[in-house]
Structure formats: C-alpha cells, structure tokens
C-alpha cells in the first residue's frame, strides 16, 4: 500500500465544529423504562456507549459519547422479561 493511498486518522475524522448539525447525534440519558404500563426509573448499573467516529482534540482522538445502556444481570433480566 503506497503512502499516497493512506490517510491519517486526523485526516479521516473531522473536528466537532466541521460536522453538520443534521449529522450530530445528541447524548441520550434515558433513566426510565416501561414496565407493566408504568414508567420506572432505572437505578442499576449502566454501560457507556461511544460512537465509532472519533473527534480529534489537542490530546489526540476522543470517542464521542452516545448514551448509557442499562445492564441487566441474569436474575434481573428474568424478573424484567417475565412481566412483558
């Protein structure tokens, strides 16, 4: 592969202000879920989800945060799904 066909990560990923507004994904902080027709607040563990598209910064590339997804342990999962 020749060097003229390769681009650095900084050439591929655009800075935050170069991304058009219609393509920016807002952060999602959903702390409620529907259970038996009622909205219930999630108080358990979450896992942060990041975009595969990085944002160049002065300290290098930064993964862009999207949302926090609820983590259900096996017992909690069964308790949740048996109500559905």
Contact 56, 10 (CB under 8 A): yes
Two structure tokens written together for 79: 């308790």
Summarised one tens digit per residue, pLDDT across range 6-24 is 566 667 787 888 888 888 8
Convert the pLDDT of each residue in 22-65 to its tens digit.
Answer: 888 777 777 888 888 999 988 888 888 888 878 888 888 888 88
For the whole model, what pTM was predicted?
Answer: 0.52
The stretches of the chain forming alpha helices (DSSP H) are 9-12, 74-81
């Amino acid at each position: 592969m020749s060097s003229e066909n390769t681009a650095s990560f900084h050439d591929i990923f655009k800075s935050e202000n170069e991304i058009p507004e219609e393509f920016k994904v807002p952060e999602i902080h959903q702390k409620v879920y529907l259970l038996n027709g009622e909205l219930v607040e999630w108080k358990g563990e979450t896992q942060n989800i990041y975009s595969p598209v990085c944002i160049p910064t002065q300290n290098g590339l930064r993964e862009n945060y999207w949302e926090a997804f609820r983590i259900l342990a096996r017992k909690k999962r069964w308790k949740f799904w048996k109500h559905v």
